[in-house]
Amino acid sequence: MSESKSLRSLILRFPRLAGAISLLLAAGCKPPPQMTPPVRPPAAVTVAAAISKDVPFYLEEIGKTTAFEYVTVQPQISGQIKSIHFVDGVDLHKKDLLFTIDPRPFEAALNQAEANTAQQTAALVFAKQDFARAEELIATKAISQQEFDQKKNAVAVSEAQVKAADAAVRIAKLNLEYCEIRSPIDGRAGQRLADVGNIVKINDQPLLIIQRLTPIYVDFTTGEQNLKSVREHLAKGTLKTNVWVPGDDQPHTGDLTFIDTNVQNGAGTIKLRATLPNDDHHFWAGQFVNVQLVLEMKKDAVLVPMQAIQLSQTGPYVFVVNKDAAAELRQVTQGQRQGDWMVIEKGVAPGDRVIITGQMLVAPGAKVNVLPPPQVAKS
């Protein structure tokens, strides 16, 4: 009660103070002003139009190149190497001279065989003359039947000896030819495995490996589950293959030329072989390569740039900018990759503008600011 009386007497004594207190109380009862939330500007994005084109439907595997022909050159006679007529790594043509083995022992053997042939031929001439006289004498019973048969047999023996001598001459000539070792194929020489002065033995050691790289094989495998599809498409015509190594600007094209007749045990794969022209010697034997076996061409496929595709828990999607400059989220079904583009089986139509950069700031249904494509500097 004493405090109320004091406040009342204070107000009566100072009326201006009462007005100030009233204003303060009135100001304290007003609600605070409402804050307007800031408006988020449209996200800056770049876009690319979905395109329609014919693209290959393919199987992609890892393969290995193999020489079209692979020959190990070995001596067919024994002797000493007298000279070498090529350098390592050179391109060779069929019948190019590679090595020469000392021919002197074989020349002597040929001379001996020819002399023996002449001797046996002379003996045959004498045997025939002797038998001719015996034929005249047997008619008059001047010689016995046994003596006549002996002379007849002598002719047969001489004829056989002449044939044996002729065969020995042919063998001696062949051995003399073997002194010159020539390339059996067109191809590239490897590193020689013998030097001048080495003694080599017949079929005992390799002298050189020659590989033909034009054309060249590419061997690869695919799962047996693909065999039916491969065979069905192959029945319609030759299947093409695209082959490349990392860093190639363009793949090299070849033909599928072989399918193995059995599935590999345990692996569940089947071996296939492609043949490439390789005229530029781009591929070397033994390289690991990427192989794309084209089964057919898919007509009018829809493609978008790879960077347009985003992933979520519900699967891949893209943002499409509609005519109102707003972003639409589209779930898509992907096909096969085609370089920097991806085939879209469902979800995008040709001409749709898909966002390729700036997706992290885009919300479904929100407006976007489409930036012009970056200018490519001219060299």
pLDDT of residue 144: 85
Give the whole-angstrom CA distance, residue 304 versus residue 348.
Answer: 9
By residue count, the chain amounts to 379
Name the burial class of residue 98, with classes exposed (0-12), middle (13-18) and buried (19+) by CB atoms within 10 angstroms of its CB: buried
Level-2 CATH architecture, domain 104-177: Orthogonal Bundle (1.10)
User: Which pLDDT belongs to residue 164?
Assistant: 96
Cα gap 123→330, rounded to integer Å: 103
Identical fold, 41-68+213-372 and 104-177: no
Q: Which residue from 361, 363, 367 is spatially nearest to 329, judged by alpha carbons? A: 363
Residue 29, pLDDT > 70, answer no
What's the average model confidence in pLDDT over 60-73?
Answer: 96
Per-domain residue ranges of the chain: 41-68+213-372, 75-101+184-205, 104-177
| Cβ-based neighbours of 245, under 8 Å, separated by 6 or more | 283, 287, 288, 289, 290
Which residues is 302 bridged to in the sheet? 52
**Interatomic CA distance for residues 139 and 335, integer angstroms:** 101
Between residues 373 and 76, the one the model is more confident about = 76
Question: Among residues 337, 277, 257, 279, which one has the least CA distance to residue 304?
Answer: 337
pLDDT more than 70, % of the chain = 88
Q: How far apart are CA 370 and CA 44, in angstroms?
A: 6
50: closest CA among 370, 371, 352? 352
Nearest to 43 by CA among 376, 349, 365, 375: 365
- Which string of DSSP letters, residue by residue, matches 36-73? PPPPPPPEEEEEEE-EEEEEEEEEEEEEEEEEEEEEEE
Q: What is the pLDDT of residues 16-28, one digit of tens each?
A: 555 555 554 555 5
The pLDDT of residue 149: 87
Which of 40, 8, 35, 47 lies closest to 304, judged by CA?
47
Provide the mean pLDDT of the chain. 89
pLDDT for the residue 141? 78
Cβ-contact 89, 189 below 8 angstroms: yes
21's tokens: 């207190």
Q: Give the pLDDT confidence of 194-213 residue by residue, as tens digits.
A: 999 999 999 888 999 999 99
- What are the two backbone dihedrals, phi and then psi, of residue 186, each rounded to the nearest 5 degrees? -80, 135
SS3 string, 119-174, reads HHHHHHHHHHHHHHHHHHHHHCCCCCHHHHHHHHHHHHHHHHHHHHHHHHHHHHHH
Q: Binning pLDDT at 50, 70 and 90, where does residue 379 land?
A: very low
Q: 41-68+213-372 belongs to which CATH class? A: mainly beta
